[in-house]
Structure 1
C-alpha cells in the first residue's frame, strides 16, 4: 500500500556538555511510551526549519536562536511514510518544559539511550556517537615515533576519531603501527578506522574501515564492519555511500592542500549544496583545522577531517562532546 510522504522536522537539542534531549511520547499518541527527538509535521507554507521552531515552542516552550541542518532520513511506519529533517539546536531562550511529552531526558552520546526508541531513530543515535573531528595519520611522512607522540597529545586534548592511512609503510610496519594506534585510542574510548583494508582492520581490532573513492564505487554492499565510511568528491559518490548504508562520508577538498597543491577546493557553498539532505553525517576535508569547526557545521557538516591540521594544534572541545 502506498502511503503519502509526510515531512517532519526533528531537533537534536545539544547541551554544553554534549548531551542531547529526548522526549517520551504521551499515552494518547501513536507509539505511546516510545522515546523520540522533539519536533513535528511540516505544515503547508513552512520550511522544515520554520516548522521546527514552531514545534519546539509548542512542545517545549522554548524559542530557538541557533539551529543547523544535519541529516535527512526516510522511514516507513505502519501508519505513515515520513521524511525526517534533523537539525542540531544548540541555543535557545526559555525554560524547557514537557508540554506534550510524558517525560524528558538528557542523554549522553556515549551512553545508553532510554527504551523503547522510535524505530526511525536507531541510525541517528549511532550518528551522534561519531566524533566531530577525525585525525588522519601520516606516519610515513612524520615518522612513526613522531606520529605516535602527536597522537598522544591529540588524545589528551580530546581527539576521539582516527583514520590510519599508511599505504606508504611496508605491510609489517603498517600493521604494527595500526595496532599501537588502536591500543592508544581505545584506552581513551575513541574509534579507529583503517583505510581500504577490512582484513587489517579485523586483525588489529580496529572499529571499522574507511574506503577511498575508487573502492567505494566498486561496492554493491556494505563491508561487514561496525563502522564504515568513505571519501567522496561528488554528489553521486555521496549518494552511493548512502545507498550502501555507510555511517559517514568525507567530502572535499574544501581548499588546496599540501598533498594536492594544484587542486582547487570546492569551497563552503559547494560543500553545502553537495552534502545537504543526506541520511549520514558528512565531514569536511581538505586544508582544514579544528579552528574551522564552527564554519563547517554552519555549512551542514557534521565536523571536519584533517591530516596535518589534526596534529598541529590543540583540540580542546573538539572531541565527541563538542556542541
Structure 2
C-alpha cells in the first residue's frame, strides 16, 4: 500500500463567483496542467497552516479568511494524495508567480484553460453550487402563493419536496414549477422522482436518506443530491459520487419537533472526517447562519421556511 501524501489546496474566490487556477511549473509531474494553488503538508503542520505557507511561497498572498470545504482522495501514477480544500474569501497581497507558473481567473462551468489536473475535476463541479439551497414549502404557503413567491424571489436552485402530495398531484405541481424555473434559470431538483425528472427535463433529483441507502448506482441525471443525517449516509452519498448532500437537522425546527438537533459541534465533527462532496447544513437555518455553517466546514445552508419570507 502506497503512502498517502497530504496536500492543502486553496480556492481563491472573488465576489462575482470567479476562482483562481494556476498552472503547474516545468519540472513537476503533470507540468502545464491547471490546478488550485497549494502544496504538501510539512511535519507538524495543520492543513490551513500549510496552505498559508504555500500561498506566500508560491504567489505572495497572505490568507486573511478561509473556511474548510471538501476532501478529495486521488491515486496518481506517481503518488496517492489526500487533498484538503479551503475556500478563501479574503487575502492580502498582489498575486505574483514565484515559481514560473501562470494564473487565470475562471467562471464556474465556463473554463477557458486546459488540461485540468485530474483530482480537481469534481471540485470544479462543486463550485457551480449555490451557497444557499432552497427547499419548497407549498404545504404551508399554498400552491398559488408559493408559485407567486417563486417567480418573485427567483432562487438559483430549488428542491421540490412536497411529501403531502400524491404522485399525480406532485407531477402537476412539478410541471408548473418547472415552467417558472426555466424562465428564470432556476435549477430544479425533483424529490425522490428520478424518472419524472428525466421525463420532464428537470435538472436533477434529490434523494431522501431512505432512498439513498437503497441505491446501488447513481441515477442517470445531470445533478443528484441527497439528505443525510450521519456518517453512514454521507458515506453512501460519497460512494455514489453524488454532487452534494444536506446534513441535519442542525437547529430545532417545526419539521422535526420531537427529534434532538445535531447542533453545530456535531456538524463540525462529522465534516472534519473529510468528504468528497459539498455538504449543506439543514434544519432550522436562517440566512444569518451561512457564515457559521461555512466555518464548520459546510458548503452552505439549506433553507425551507426562511427562504420564502
Q: TM-score range by the shorter chain?
A: over 0.9
Other-structure match for 2:133:
134
How many aligned positions are there? 308
- Of structures 1 and 2, the one with the larger relative CO (CA 8 A, separation 6+) is 1
Other-structure match for 1:315:
none
**Pairing 1:175–2:171 present:** yes
In 1: Cα distance, 2:72 partner to 2:286 partner: 29
Post-superposition Cα deviations, 1:172-223, rounded to whole Å, max 9, x if no partner, equal 3322221232232233333211111101111221111111111111122212
How far did 1:64 drift?
A: 0.8
Structure 2 matches for 1:166-205, cutoff 5 A? 166-205=162-201
Other-structure match for 2:269:
273
Other-structure match for 1:20:
19
In 1: Cα distance, 2:260 partner to 2:43 partner: 41
Structure 1 279/101 Cα, relative in aligned 2: closer, same or farther at 3 Å?
A: farther
Unaligned residue ranges in structure 2 (runs of 5+)? none
Other-structure match for 1:287:
284
In 2: Cα distance, 1:151 partner to 1:47 partner: 43
Structure 2 matches for 1:1-323, cutoff 5 A? 2-155=1-154, 159-276=155-272, 277-312=274-309
In 1: Cα distance, 2:307 partner to 2:203 partner: 20
Post-superposition Cα deviations, 1:130-189, rounded to whole Å, max 9, x if no partner, equal 11111111213321111111112221xxx2110011232243332222123223223333
CA RMSD of aligned residues (A): 1.4
Deviates more, 1:301-310 or 1:26-35: 26-35
Structure 1 61/42 Cα, relative in aligned 2: closer, same or farther at 3 Å?
A: same
**TM-score (norm. length: structure 2):** 0.96
Does the 8 Å contact 1:13/1:88 carry over to 2? yes
